[in-house]
Amino acid sequence: MPRADYYILPDTEPESRAAFLCRLCEKILGLGMRVFISTEHETAARQLDQQLWTARPQSFVPHALLNGQPDSPIEIGWGDQLPDHREVFVNLSARLPDAAFDFERIVEVVIQTPDVLAATRDNYARCRDRGLELHRTDMRHRS
């Protein structure tokens, strides 16, 4: 059954999404799955590309912009771009695109800003209405 995972961070800074996403991608790669990260636009994709290179100096998260490097286990795209696989779809756009529902797993990383919270609530409702198995990890109360 397809599933959607929501990771709720206590932070308001967009950079915290990239740092958390770096750690999450390492775990997903460890499971042998490929990842596609969808952003709103090319500028956001390029910025995330740079952030993933520097988010954790002690780690290596192999990634590339979509169509930039063949066979990268993590690809970053924007707009309507889609990878060849349908494994893990990480949504960093406001609205979850319909194409995301073709993937085995949808991931949202939530920060505490009004626009992200509102968009995530809508996306969560759409996943629930489509019958996806929903998982929520609230990081706000962890020490």
Give the pTM.
0.92
Q: Report the CATH number that the domain containing residue 18 is assigned in CATH.
A: 3.40.50.10110
* One pLDDT digit (tens) per residue for the chain, 143 residues: 799 999 999 999 888 888 899 889 889 988 999 999 999 999 999 998 888 877 666 667 778 898 766 678 999 999 999 999 999 999 999 999 999 999 999 999 999 999 999 999 999 999 999 999 999 999 988 65
- If one counts the domains in the chain, the total is 1
In a domain, 143, yes or no: no
Domain that holds residue 66: 3-138
Q: Return the ∠ at Cα 5 (arms to 86 and 10), rounded to 5°.
A: 135
In a domain, 47, yes or no: yes
In a domain, 97, yes or no: yes
Closest CA to 37 of 82, 98, 68, 102: 82
Distance (Å, whole) CA 112 – CA 98 = 24
In a domain, 58, yes or no: yes
